[in-house]
């Protein structure tokens, strides 16, 4: 009898585990709608969406950022961190390889513009295969030994799929749909020569470029989708050669669909391995924050030149007063809102206005620019962390009809 009871219990546990881990099961809570209405239940989930800060919370955050900025890194050390930036990132990837970050399976939820129109429609018909993104992250987001480091890109980013189906996003979908779908017209015009010498992806009709690809945590979720789509090609670059080698050595890397290369986007004299005005989408995900603020505008302006008319830069990065900013100790501040981590890598924290000014000065039109406030919870340690990310979509204006297609 005990054997039968134990066997039944074992089968029941196995059944529950299998059901819980099925990748095609939808999340219990609709994406982007996990709203904290009862503060006593704050530790029931790992992440809460669309959090509103009180005036007191914002003031405390401002005071904390001011306090940890009082002692600045010495000028000679600041020059070293700038001069040797690629060395620090190479050391990072040498240490962690591709085990540090999680794949960004939330990309297609936040940025459906990544895919060409036909592929987006196909993905919708296939029951939105990316809806399997888990809502519950593990609780070890803060203890990997890197003060204030990469909180979005660790286990926490599993929850990033839960977001931005807000009124703001719905308004974008309605008002911008006609503008964005005109990309299809421009793509159809791409049969004309683009400096017709051969280059990687020269035969493609739709091109995506990820800047700062790291170990490929955006590259491979995208590749898994586009590898069955004729005419789509993905470029990716990083200025850490170790990161690019990790991408190239990955099981899913395929030069028929992707070209990974080492490139320093801050180097104005360094050419890209493809002509200007051929890209449909540029991904700029938690990359710009690692660049010195004085060089950011030049980077964005040069990237804008790579877009074809109607193409878009899709941006996501750290926002002002994110938990990772407030966690820095005195003596780690390089300049206002710009810090160096313990491993020598750097990070900046943006405001909406800064992002708007940067991309519009580059000649792009703002389609989306919002602050994504989340409350991240470590249920085991009973710790609450205010996360702040900036997300934006910026489009290159369409050329007059007589100039776009003769």
Determine whether 202 is exposed, middle or buried from the number of CB atoms within 10 Å of its CB (0-12, 13-18, 19+): middle
Q: Is residue 26 part of a domain?
A: no
Contact present, 265 and 240 (Cβ < 8 Å): no
Query: Which pLDDT score, from 0 to 100, does residue 340 have?
Result: 95
Q: Quick one: 218 exposed, middle or buried, by C-beta within 10 A (0-12, 13-18, 19+)?
A: buried
Tell me how far CA of residue 346 lies from CA of 89, 210, 315, in angstroms.
Answer: 10, 20, 18
Q: Report CA torsion sign: 88, 92, 97, 103.
A: negative
Report pLDDT digits (tens) over 292-307: 999 999 999 999 999 9
State residue 123's pLDDT score.
58
The answer to whether 316 and 390 have CB atoms below 8 angstroms apart is yes
- In the prediction, which pLDDT does 240 show? 87
Q: pLDDT digits over 316-329, tens only? A: 999 999 999 999 99
Q: How far apart are CA 135 and CA 401, in angstroms?
A: 45
Query: What pLDDT shows up at residue 102?
Result: 64
How many Å apart are CA 394 and CA 406, to the nearest integer?
26
Q: What is the pLDDT along the chain (406 residues), one digit of tens a residue?
A: 554 445 444 444 444 333 323 333 333 344 456 776 666 666 666 666 776 778 888 899 999 999 999 999 999 999 999 998 888 877 877 775 554 456 677 888 889 999 887 665 565 555 444 444 333 333 333 332 333 344 444 434 444 433 333 333 333 333 333 333 333 333 333 334 445 468 999 999 999 999 998 888 889 999 988 887 889 999 999 988 888 999 998 888 999 999 999 999 999 999 999 999 999 999 999 999 999 999 999 999 999 999 999 999 999 999 999 999 999 999 999 999 999 999 899 999 999 999 999 999 999 999 999 998 887 777 777 777 788 999 999 999 997 545 545 4
DSSP 8-state symbol, 237: E
Tell me, yes or no, whether 175 lies in a domain: yes
Q: Is 264 exposed, middle or buried (0-12, 13-18, 19+ CB in 10 A)?
A: middle
Q: Is residue 12 part of a domain?
A: no
Evaluate whether residue 32 is within a structural domain: no
Residues 6+ apart with CB under 8 A from 236: 209, 210, 213, 216, 218, 219, 247, 258, 259, 260, 261
Pairing status of strand 47-48 against strand 232-238: unpaired
SS3 assignment, position 247: helix
- State how far the Cα of 357 lies from the Cα of 123, in Å rounded to an integer: 34
Please state, in angstroms and rounded to a whole number, the distance separating the CA atoms of residues 34 and 375: 10
The strand pair at 333-335 and 258-262 is best described as unpaired
pLDDT of residue 364: 97
Could you give the strand order of the β-sheet that contains 383-395, starting from the edge strand earlier in sequence?
A: 47-48, 365-378, 383-395, 307-318, 279-285, 206-211, 232-238, 258-262
Q: Which residues of 345-364 are buried (b: 16+ CB within 10 A; e: fewer)?
A: bbbbbbebebbeebbeebeb
CATH number of the domain that residue 346 is part of = 3.40.50.150
Q: Which residue has the tokens 């990544």?
A: 114
By DSSP bridging, strand 47-48 and strand 365-378 are antiparallel
Put residue 192 in one of left, alpha, beta given phi > 0 → left and psi -120 to 50 → alpha. Answer: beta
Evaluated on CA atoms 254, 396, 163, 297, the torsion sign reads: positive
Show the domain range for 259.
39-404
| pTM attached to this predicted model | 0.73
Is 197 inside any structural domain?
yes
In a domain, 18, yes or no: no
Element (H, E) at 236: strand 232-238
Structural domains in the chain (count): 1
Average pLDDT, the chain: 75
**Can you give the three-state secondary structure of 285-322, one letter per residue?**
ECCHHHCCHHHHHHHHHHHHHHEEEEEEEEEEEEECCC
């Amino acid at each position: 009898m005990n054997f039968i009871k134990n066997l039944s219990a074992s089968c029941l546990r196995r059944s529950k585990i299998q059901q819980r881990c099925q990748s095609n099961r939808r999340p219990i809570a609709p994406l982007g709608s996990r709203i904290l209405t009862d503060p006593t239940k704050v530790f029931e989930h790992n992440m809460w969406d669309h959090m509103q800060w009180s005036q007191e919370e914002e003031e405390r955050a401002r005071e904390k950022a001011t306090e940890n900025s009082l002692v600045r890194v010495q000028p000679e050390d600041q020059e070293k961190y700038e001069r040797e930036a690629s060395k620090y990132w190479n050391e990072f990837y040498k240490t962690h390889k591709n085990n540090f970050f999680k794949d960004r399976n939330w990309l297609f939820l936040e940025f459906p513009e990544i895919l060409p129109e036909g592929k987006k429609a196909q993905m919708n018909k296939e029951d939105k295969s990316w809806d399997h993104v888990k809502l519950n992250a593990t609780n070890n987001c803060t203890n990997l030994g890197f003060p204030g480091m990469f909180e979005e890109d660790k286990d926490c980013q599993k929850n990033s799929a839960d977001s931005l189906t807000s009124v703001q996003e719905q308004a974008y979908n309605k008002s911008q749909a006609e503008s964005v779908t005109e990309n299809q017209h421009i793509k159809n015009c791409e049969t004309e020569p683009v400096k017709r010498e051969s280059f990687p992806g020269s035969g493609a009709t739709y091109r995506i470029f990820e800047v700062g690809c790291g170990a490929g945590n955006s590259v491979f979720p995208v590749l898994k989708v586009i590898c069955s789509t004729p005419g789509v090609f993905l470029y990716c670059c990083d200025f850490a050669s170790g990161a690019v080698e990790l991408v190239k050595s990955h099981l899913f890397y395929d030069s028929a669909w992707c070209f990974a290369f080492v490139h320093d986007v801050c180097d104005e004299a360094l050419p890209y391995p493809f002509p200007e005005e051929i890209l449909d989408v540029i991904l700029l995900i938690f990359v710009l924050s690692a660049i010195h603020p004085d060089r950011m505008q030049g980077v964005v302006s040069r990237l804008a030149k790579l877009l074809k008319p109607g193409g878009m830069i899709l941006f996501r990065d750290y926002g002002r007063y994110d938990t990772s900013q407030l966690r820095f100790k005195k003596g780690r501040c390089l300049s206002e809102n710009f810090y160096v981590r313990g491993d020598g890598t750097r990070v900046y924290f943006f405001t909406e206005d800064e992002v708007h000014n940067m991309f519009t000065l580059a000649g792009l039109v703002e389609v989306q620019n919002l602050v994504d406030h989340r409350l991240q919870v470590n249920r085991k340690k009973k710790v609450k962390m205010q996360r702040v990310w900036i997300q934006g979509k910026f489009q290159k204006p369409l050329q007059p009809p007589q100039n776009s297609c003769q």
